[in-house]
Chains A and B, each alone.
Chain A
Amino acid sequence: MALDTPNTARPAFDALYRATAADLYAYVASIVGDRATAEDVTMAAYERAYRRRRTFDRSRGNERAWLFGIARNAALDELRRQRRSAPLFDEDMLAAAAPADEPEQRLAVRAALAGLDARDRELVALKFVAGLTNAEIADVIGTTSTNAGTRLHRVVAKLREACHVPS
């Protein structure tokens, strides 16, 4: 079933856009690691989704996972083209969010987030920032729900260890 019918074409896509814009941008930025590139990729992702909205098949996942999958492909294509690294989160944002009197535990978690590899960072972005379910994450990254859950569990375990730093 397509994302929309002739009668619901714009409203359905607009609703999807409004529900996902901020999360999608954050997710794309977590992959490409650059604001300008993230903006280009986000724009491209929405345009691709708009052009392909009639090919959306609900039996293969919900529209949110479908959109994030498109964005992931666009981001990885761009990343491959640029061949450059992607820091987990915006460095400026991290610096701004780290006042001097920050508790040591918070700083440790932030360092742990920054130390994650690209695949783990992607999982954190999809789970904690975009709020996708494990099944949706599996659809986006092209793996099984079990595999996605196992990998997510492993990432959360790492981050929990960072929380154990004595304050």
Chain B
Amino acid sequence: MFRRNEVLDPAVAAELEALDAALAGERLDVEIALILGEARTAAPTMTPAFADTLERAVASGFGRTGELASAPVKTARARRPRVRLVLAGAAAVVLLGGAGTVLLSSHATNDMLTSSSDDKARPLVATVSSGSAASTTAIAPSSDSAAGGATEVAPESAVAPAPAQSTAKRAAPSSGTTTPGAARKVERAAQLALTTKASDLQEAADGVVRATDRVGGYVQGSEVNAAGRNGYAQFDLRVPADRLQEALAAYSRLASVRSRTQQTSDITSTFNSATERLGDARAERRALLRALAKATTANETASLRARLKLVNSEISRANGDLAAVKRRASYSRVTVTIEPKRAGSAAPAADDGRWTPGDAIGDAGRVLGVAAGVAIVGIAAIAPLAVLLALGLLGTGALRRRRREAALDGPGHAV
């Protein structure tokens, strides 16, 4: 409490000094001696019984509560449970508030940590289409493939689910080209986006070519620019369909996988159509050849030869179409892009699955950031309560002091 410290009147100060000197016996003052004597004579003294009780209480450290049980005055011990109750309540409120804040923040932390490793956890999506039908299937995250394991993609029969096949069958009858139970032709394609250090980009690009060669594929087209941080590499590859997964696993080991998608298309109807067109053309040619052998006139022979020429062209086109469809089924198209890592890019540095000191520092920074956020939120939530509590305590203290002082001013004290 603020108290104004005034200067004592010199005369009053002198008289107080004289009073102190007289009380100390350093100066003879009859009046003060008289007052002192009367005050001390009239002052009550403890009875021997109480003096003994007090002595024992002090000697025992006030350990025996029974000794004071009959006293009407509230002792510190008697008041303590209430104080403890209030403190426990306040602590409970603070703890509950803190726990709630921490829970919320830990949820936020999980979100943050999840999003930070989003690229690792993000499932790859394979879009599977069969004729006019298509389905989407989640497959293993890229971190698996990055760790060296080949991504398991559902077998053909699984990725082209029965309903999709049914749809294809229902759509096919009009053309009459789909033979139930015949081997289906499936075209597969994949896109792979890789990131690596700018200095390793050329090596990764070379690795793509080597891996393609290893699986018996070939590079349809490529563009590589290893110019530092702005470098990039892009490949249009063809790999044998039955070694697609092996090739993708090999590419994934070359750098960090940022994204990977696969598509599967059923091209059975296209294959059957080309096959039937070829068969029809060949049958027509055989018929024309037979007719030519039986031709008797020059005009008839010339007409048949012209028709044969057209049919041969048709056979050539049909052969080309069939070969193209077979290529689509036997070789998968794979597009691989490689980009250098950029600071703050979505692809984290730990995509190789190892927890490095750099990761630890990053995690520590995030944890500290979250902790600071929690602290700020906690303070924001608790500060108003603390201010109210402090004001309440101050007000209660002031009120108690006023009431105590009023006890001396009560009407009963006017003697």
Interface size class of A (residues with CB under 8 A): 35 or more
Q: Is A5 among interface residues, defined by CB-CB distance under 8 A?
A: no
B9 neighbours in A (Cβ, 8 Å):
150
In the assembled complex, the CB of A89 is this many whole angstroms from the nearest CB of chain B, namely 4
- Tally of chain B residues near chain A (CB < 8 A): 61
**Total number of residue pairs linking A and B with CB closer than 8 Å:** 199
* A146 CA to B61 CA, complexed, in Å: 37
B206 neighbours in A (Cβ, 8 Å):
none
B8 adjacent to A150 (CB under 8 Å) = yes
A89 adjacent to B6 (CB under 8 Å) = no
Q: Is A14 among interface residues, defined by CB-CB distance under 8 A?
A: yes
B40 neighbours in A (Cβ, 8 Å):
128-129
Q: Is the interface of B mostly helix, strand, loop or mixed?
A: helix
* A29 CA to B287 CA, complexed, in Å: 140
A85 neighbours in B (Cβ, 8 Å):
410, 412-415
Give the contacting residue for B8; candidates A37, A77, A149; CB below 8 A: A149
B47 adjacent to A160 (CB under 8 Å) = no
B58 adjacent to A46 (CB under 8 Å) = yes
Given A89-B44, A109-B38, also A76-B405 (CB < 8 A): yes
Q: Is the interface of A mostly helix, strand, loop or mixed?
A: helix
A133 neighbours in B (Cβ, 8 Å):
20
Q: Is B227 among interface residues, defined by CB-CB distance under 8 A?
A: no
Q: Which of A1-52 contact B (CB under 8 A)?
A: 10, 13-14, 17, 21-22, 25-26, 29-31, 35, 37-44, 46-48, 50-52
* A78 CA to B46 CA, complexed, in Å: 19
Q: Which of A58-106 contact B (CB under 8 A)?
A: 73-74, 76-81, 83-90, 93-94, 97, 105-106
A117 neighbours in B (Cβ, 8 Å):
413-415
Q: Is B19 among interface residues, defined by CB-CB distance under 8 A?
A: yes
Given A77-B404, A117-B413, also A163-B31 (CB < 8 A): yes
Q: Is B53 among interface residues, defined by CB-CB distance under 8 A?
A: yes
B38 adjacent to A106 (CB under 8 Å) = yes
Chain A, residues 124-155, CB within 8 Å of chain B (1/0): the string is 11011101011000000011111101101100
Q: Which residue of chain B lies nearest to A160 when distances are taken between CB atoms in the complex?
A: B31
* Selected A-B contacts with CB under 8 Å, 12 pairs: A25-B45, A31-B408, A38-B44, A44-B71, A46-B58, A46-B62, A73-B404, A89-B44, A93-B42, A118-B409, A144-B4, A163-B30
